[in-house]
């Protein structure tokens, strides 16, 4: 008996492989066109396999031979799936909505002309005191609310910008259309309009000596209220090596991308990057950022990172591309072999450096480049192997379902896409495609993890505006963090059994911040992935 059928609820590209999954057993399946009820494809599910991460017995349904466009559902036994589409560009709306999710998280008033029923008033517009010296207050307005709460974190903003700027750099053709934000139509692609919101805020976080403050956050938990009603006292937390290094990297990258559009802004970004580098050279002894002991960690965020080599690798790769200075090239060669260079995450972001170097135009050292390519290929092969052994085609094992697991799926897709562009192996492309399908419904929960998309999708994300407004549906285009076996909030500790399978440790409720939080860097990684598949 078939228990559940899990397709990609958003849809499939007509020319790409098309798979779905079912639990239980079935002798056959049919693909039925919704308009008219015509059966357009029949087949036999693969033999069931045991998926360790979910505890499910899973059969794959393969209907890659169907290339007809339209809206369909899968029928197997007495069950029918959620509807889905097959088309030449099924991810255009998704890509644009994920990008506009950043607009909805702006720390500024949202005009109803662009935000519709999700509009809200001016917020967090007061001067903010320094944590170390509250008598000094600074203007750090703007930017994006980081996640479900209203904190603003420098490193997270840099990572978000890294995802978005490289999406634009590597496939700019995917960002030609308007996403309906206030800046649309000003001659700048909307992805760069949105990135400028983050960049201008970042430059407010740089002190006169070039160092960069780590974050803006409260000392106590923020209530579930609309942003304009949040009067929680916030502080600017001290400068950190991690924030300054990531800032140095992303402003250097951005200075090159904005140069054809706005030379003055490009120059400001370059100067800010160099000033951050000078601060780093004047403060060479790395000190990890540690939250003060009086801070409520859940309120102020905890982004502990005891190794700055990956951040520094990214920074010197970008500075080398921007300046051509061999001093930076020497540091690239030095750091390449001593740090992880395959990540696109807050604590592990060396992969951006590889994108900068490999796809950059500056002269390359052959050994260094080959080292980078070998490391990317090794990681890509490992991800493909994980996907082959997973019943759901997911590039994870049972230990990988941790906080932000959906973000990891999207950053893994970024590496696979980059590896496909470098090496041309179809396996990398198809595995990346499967990871996108995973967050859109091809998973053990049968859940589309992006708000506003699919039939069975997230309704109550840990996202304060979505919960506090008077609108029944959540803000659209938000990717939530996903299954997390570690039960890092009170709700999941009480409501998800300790013996639950890792891939099913998820709850669609606002109180589960460790599984259902929406973050800007989840969205930005998904923008990269969806944008690529919108170009092929």
**Mean of the pLDDT values across residues 432-441?**
98
Domain ranges within the chain, ordered by starting residue: 2-87, 97-386
Residues 6+ apart with CB under 8 A from 311: 241, 242, 245, 246, 249, 305, 349
Q: What pLDDT, on the 0 to 100 scale, is given for residue 237?
A: 95
φ and ψ of 138, to 5 deg? -125, 155
Judged against a pLDDT cut of 60, whether residue 178 lies above it is answered with: yes
C-alpha to C-alpha distance for 164 and 166, rounded to whole angstroms = 5
**Mean of the pLDDT values across residues 390-396?**
97
C-alpha to C-alpha distance for 427 and 111, rounded to whole angstroms = 44
Least confident range of 95-99, 273-277, 382-386, 486-490: 486-490
CATH class of domain segment(s) 97-386: mainly alpha
Full DSSP string of 98-153: HHHHHHHTBSS-B-HHHHGGG-B---S-S-EEBSS-TT-EE----SB--SSSS-EE
Q: Tell me: the pLDDT tens digits for 328-346?
A: 999 999 999 999 999 999 9
Full DSSP string of 17-81: --EEEEEE--S-EEEEETTT--EEEEE-PPPPEEETTTTEEEEEEE-TT----EEEEEEETTEEP
Judged against a pLDDT cut of 80, whether residue 102 lies above it is answered with: yes
CB 237 within 8 A of CB 215: yes
Q: What pLDDT, on the 0 to 100 scale, is given for residue 295?
A: 63
pLDDT, averaged across the chain:
96
CATH class of domain segment(s) 2-87: mainly beta
Q: Tell me: the pLDDT tens digits for 455-493?
A: 999 999 999 999 999 999 999 999 999 999 998 999 999
Query: Residue 302 — pLDDT band, cuts 50, 70, 90?
Result: low
Query: Residue 221 — pLDDT band, cuts 50, 70, 90?
Result: confident
Judged against a pLDDT cut of 90, whether residue 450 lies above it is answered with: yes
Distances (CA, A) of 425 to 418, 419, 512, 525: 11, 8, 39, 22
Q: Please name which of 1, 7, 2 lies closest in space to residue 441, comparing C-alpha atoms.
A: 7
% of the chain with per-residue pLDDT over 90: 94
Q: Tell me: the pLDDT tens digits for 61-85?
A: 999 999 999 999 999 999 999 999 9
**Mean of the pLDDT values across residues 445-457?**
97
Same fold, 2-87 and 97-386: no
Residues 6+ apart with CB under 8 A from 200: 142, 143
Global model pTM greater than 0.95:
yes
State both tokens at 9.
């609820």
């Amino acid at each position: 008996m078939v228990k559940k059928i899990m397709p990609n609820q958003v849809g499939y590209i007509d020319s790409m492989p098309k798979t779905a999954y079912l639990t239980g057993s079935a002798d056959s399946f049919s693909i039925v066109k919704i308009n008219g009820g015509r059966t357009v494809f029949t087949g036999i599910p693969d033999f069931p396999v045991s998926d360790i991460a979910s505890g499910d017995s899973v059969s794959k349904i393969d209907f890659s031979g169907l290339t007809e466009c339209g809206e369909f559902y899968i029928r197997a036994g007495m069950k029918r799936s959620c509807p889905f589409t097959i088309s030449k560009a099924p991810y255009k709306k998704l890509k644009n909505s994920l990008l506009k999710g950043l607009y909805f998280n702006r720390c500024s008033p949202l005009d109803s002309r662009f935000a519709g029923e999700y509009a809200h008033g001016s917020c967090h517009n007061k001067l903010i005191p320094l944590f170390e010296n509250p008598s000094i207050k600074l203007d750090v307005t703007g930017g994006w609310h980081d996640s479900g709460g209203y904190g603003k974190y420098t490193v997270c903003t840099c990572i978000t910008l890294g995802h978005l700027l490289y999406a634009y750099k590597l496939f700019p053709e995917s960002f030609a259309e308007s996403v309906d934000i206030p800046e649309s139509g000003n001659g700048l692609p909307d992805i760069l309009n949105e990135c400028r919101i983050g960049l201008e805020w970042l430059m407010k976080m740089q002190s006169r000596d070039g160092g960069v403050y780590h974050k803006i956050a409260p000392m106590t938990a923020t209530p579930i209220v609309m942003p304009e009603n949040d009067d929680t006292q916030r502080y600017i937390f001290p400068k950190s090596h991690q924030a300054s290094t990531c800032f140095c990297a992303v402003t250097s990258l951005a200075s090159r991308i904005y140069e054809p559009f706005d030379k003055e802004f490009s120059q400001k970004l370059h100067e800010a990057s160099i000033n951050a580098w000078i601060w780093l050279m004047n403060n060479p002894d790395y000190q990890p950022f540690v939250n003060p002991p009086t801070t409520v960690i859940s309120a102020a965020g905890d982004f502990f990172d005891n190794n700055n080599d990956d951040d520094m690798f990214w920074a010197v790769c970008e500075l080398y591309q921007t300046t051509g200075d061999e001093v930076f090239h020497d540091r690239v060669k030095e750091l390449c072999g001593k740090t992880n260079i395959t990540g696109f995450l807050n604590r592990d972001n060396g992969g951006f450096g590889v994108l900068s170097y490999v796809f950059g135009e500056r002269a390359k050292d052959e050994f260094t480049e080959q080292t980078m390519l070998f490391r990317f290929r090794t990681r890509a092969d490992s991800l493909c192997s994980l996907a082959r052994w997973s019943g759901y085609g997911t590039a994870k094992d049972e230990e990988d379902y941790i906080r932000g697991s959906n973000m990891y799926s999207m950053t893994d897709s970024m590496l696979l896409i980059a590896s496909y562009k470098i090496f041309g192996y179809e396996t990398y492309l198809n595995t990346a495609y499967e990871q996108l399908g995973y967050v859109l419904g091809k998973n053990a929960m049968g859940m589309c993890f992006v708000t506003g998309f699919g039939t069975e999708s997230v309704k109550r994300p840990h996202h304060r505006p979505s919960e506090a407004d008077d609108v029944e549906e959540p803000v659209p285009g938000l990717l939530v963090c996903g299954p997390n076996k570690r039960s890092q909030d009170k709700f999941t500790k009480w409501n998800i059994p300790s013996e639950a399978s890792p891939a099913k440790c998820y709850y669609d409720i606002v109180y589960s911040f460790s599984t259902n939080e929406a973050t800007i860097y989840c969205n930005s990684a998904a923008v990269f992935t969806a944008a690529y598949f919108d170009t092929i």
